[in-house]
Amino acid sequence: MGLDLTQIIEQVGKDKGIEMGILVEAIETALVTAAKKKYGNTRDIEAQFNPEVGEIELFEFKTVVDEVTNDHLEIEFKAAKQHDPEARIGDSLGFKLDTNLFGRVAAHTAKQIILQKVREAEREIIFSEYKDRQGELVSGIVRRFERRDIIIDLGKTEAVLPENEQIRRERYRVGDRVQAFLLRVERVAKGPQLILSRVSTQFLNKLFEQDVPEIHDRTVKIMATAREPGRRSKIAVYSEDLNVDPVGACVGVRGSRVQNIVQELRGEKIDIVPWSPDPAKFICNAIAPAEVQKVIIDNENQTMELIVADDQLSLAIGKRGQNVRLASQLTKWKVDIQSESRIKEKAQEMKLLLTRTETIDEATVNLVIKHGLINPDDLLEMEDGDLSEMLGIGLETAKTMKTKLVVVREQRTEELKVVAEQEAAERARGALEQGVAPTGGDIHGEEPLEDDGTV
C-alpha cells in the first residue's frame, strides 16, 4: 500500500481504546471486500498484515493443476513452476495484488467497512465496561427527552431513564445533572443500551453506601429496604460491632448524612431502623414511631398481629396505610394492627359466644381469652386434643364446645345484621329530615377514607 500502517493502527487503537488486532482484522476484511468488488467474488483472495513493512498485503490464491478449467481459481503447472520452482500439482500458490489499482468505489467500500468495524469495536468496549458496572451508581447530563423517557449523557455513551424508573414528582430540564442506579445493560441493534433507575431500592442502598463510610467498609450492613419512591422509605441496618451505633452512623452528625440522601431524593422521607433477628422486636422497630404493646406471631402463616394503644393506632397505620405497609415490606411479614379498645371488644364478643355454648364455666372462658383466642376461627382451627389439654377440659367437652360455637356464631351474626339494618334505617331517616346525604358524608355523598391497618 506504500504506507506504514503500524503507527496509524496503534494511534487509532490508543485514541479509541481498541485492540490493535481488532483494527488489523477490520482493515483486512475491508481490503478483501474491496478486492472482490474489483476482481469479482469468484476469486480466492486473502489479506495479511505484514508488521515488518507495516502494510496490509493482498494475495490471490490459485490451485496448481495439469489443465486449467477455471482461470480464476487454478493455474497451469508450467506457469506455476515459473512462479515457484518447487510447486507441485495440488499446491495452492499466492499471488500478491497491487492495492493501488483499486477503483474509487472499492476504496470507498473499504473505508466504510473499516469505520463500521471500528464502531462495532467501540460498542463492544462500552458494553463490557458498563456491564461490569451494572449495579453501581452513575451520573450524567440530561441531553434530550424521547416521549417520557429521559436520555442521559454519561460521557462515553448515553443511557435511558425510562418513565417507570423515574420518581413521579421529579422534573428535569436539558442540562440538569442526574444520578441514578445502573439497573441493566442490554445489547440492541444500535449498540449497548443502558437502563437507569431512581426508584429501585438498590438506588437507595447505594446512596447510603456512598455517603456512609461504615456501610462502604461493611462495618454497618443494610439488612432490608422498603420504599415508596418519592414519598417514604424504611431501611433496616445492623452492625456486629457492639461499639458501633448503626442507626447513628447512617444519620450522621445532626442528620448530615441522611439529609444528603433526602436532598438527592427530592425530599423523600427516610426511616432508619435497627434490624433484629427477633421478628417481634424487628416489627416493633419497623413500625416506629408508633409504640407497640403486644405482638402475636403466627409463624405458620407468616403473620403478626400488633396491639397498640388507641392514640397510637393512626400513627402505626400511617397516612393511607403507608407506615404499616412499609413495615410489612421491610420485615416480609403480613401485619395486622389492632387498637386496645378493638381487642377488648373482640374479647367481650368471644366471651359472649363461649358463654352461649353452655359448655364451659366462666373461669374457663377467661382462660380462653387469656391464651389470646379472641377470634372464633382461631379456636375452631385448633385440634380437639390440643384445646382439651390447654383448657383442662375433657375431649368430648372440647368437641361439643367447638360444634356449638359454630351455631351460636351464626346466630350472633344474624342478630348483628338485624341491628345494623335498624341503625342504618334510623340514620337514613335522620339524614333526610336534616337534608344530609344518608351515607354519613356531606350532601354530595363524599365520605372520608379509612384504613383498617391490615397489610
Per the model's pLDDT, the better-predicted residue between 29 and 252 turns out to be: 252
Give the model's confidence band at 375: pLDDT under 50 very low, under 70 low, under 90 confident, else very high. Answer: confident
- The residue that leads in pLDDT, 261 or 128, is 261
Strands 191-197 and 221-228: unpaired
C-alpha cell at 231: 414519598
Residue 4 has pLDDT above 60, yes or no: no
Q: What is the mean pLDDT of residues 132-153?
A: 93
Can you name the CATH fold of 133-197?
OB fold (Dihydrolipoamide Acetyltransferase, E2P) (2.40.50)
Residue 37's Cβ-side half-sphere holds a number of Cα atoms within 13 Å equal to 18
pLDDT band at 84 (very low <50, low <70, confident <90, very high): confident
The per-residue pLDDT for 452 is 59
Q: Which of 24, 1, 31, 12 is nearest to 110 (CA)?
A: 31
pLDDT at res. 377: 87
pLDDT band for 198, please (50, 70, 90 cuts): very high
Average pLDDT for 47-62: 79
3-state helix, strand, coil in the chain (%, to 5): 45, 25, 30
Query: How high does pLDDT run on average in the chain?
Result: 85
**CATH annotation of 5-127:** 3.30.1480.10
Per-residue confidence (pLDDT) for residue 6, from 0 to 100: 66
Q: Residue 35 CA to chain centroid, in angstroms?
A: 51
Specify the higher pLDDT residue, 367 or 223. Answer: 223
- What SS3 class is residue 406? helix
Residue-wise pLDDT tens digits, 236-248: 999 999 999 999 9
104-123: per-residue pLDDT in tens?
Answer: 655 566 567 667 777 777 78
Q: Which residue has the cell 482461470?
A: 71
> Residue 314's pLDDT is what?
92
Give this prediction's pTM. Answer: 0.69
Position 451 confidence tier, pLDDT thresholds 50, 70, 90:
low
pLDDT at 192 over 70: yes
Mean pLDDT over 367-376 rounds to: 87
Integer Cα distance of 344 and 350 in angstroms = 10
Please give the Cα distance from 281 to 236 (Å, whole number).
12
DSSP 267: S
What's the length of the chain? 455
User: What pLDDT sits at residue 229?
Assistant: 95
pLDDT at 2 over 70: no
Question: What are residue 191's DSSP bridge partners?
Answer: 188
Q: Of the ranges 11-15, 229-233, 378-382, which one carries the lowest mean pLDDT score?
A: 11-15
Q: How confident is the model at residue 303 (pLDDT cuts 50, 70, 90)?
A: very high
Q: Is the pLDDT of residue 47 over 90?
A: no
| Alpha carbon 14 to its chain's center | 37
When pLDDT is cut at 50, 70 and 90, the band that residue 217 belongs to is very high
pLDDT of residue 106: 52
Residue 154 has pLDDT above 60, yes or no: yes
- Look at residue 165 and tell me whether its pLDDT is greater than 80: yes
Asked if residue 175 lies in contact with residue 141, where contact means CB atoms within 8 angstroms, the answer is: yes
Share of the chain above pLDDT 90, in %: 41
The C-alpha atoms of residue 315 and residue 291 are separated, in whole angstroms, by 9
Taking residues 191-217, what's their average pLDDT?
Answer: 94
Topology of the domain comprising 207-329? GMP Synthetase; Chain A, domain 3 (3.30.300)
Question: Is 380 in contact with 405 (CB distance < 8 Å)?
Answer: yes
C-alpha distances out from residue 266 to 205, 229, 319, 340, Å: 16, 10, 19, 37
> Checking DSSP bridges between strand 158-161 and strand 191-197, what pairing results, if any?
parallel
Task: Extract the C-alpha cell encoding 60.
Answer: 490471490
Q: Which residues of 316-328 are buried (b: 16+ CB within 10 A; e: fewer)?
A: bbbeebbbbbbbb
Model pLDDT, residue 447: 39
**What is the predicted pLDDT for the residue at 446?**
38
Q: State mean pLDDT over 148-170.
A: 92
Lowest mean pLDDT among 55-59, 231-235, 342-346: 55-59
Whether the per-residue pLDDT at 425 is higher than 90: the answer is no
pLDDT band at 273 (very low <50, low <70, confident <90, very high): very high
Domain ranges across the chain = 5-127, 133-197, 207-329
> What value does the mean pLDDT take over residues 168-188?
92
CA 415 to chain centre: 50
First-residue to last-residue Cα distance in the chain = 76
Mean pLDDT, residues 204-209: 97
Backbone CA torsion sign across 37, 40, 41, 47: negative
State pLDDT tens for residues 66-78: 888 888 888 888 8
User: Per-residue confidence at 48, pLDDT binned at 50, 70, 90?
Assistant: confident
Averaged over 80-86, what is the pLDDT? 84
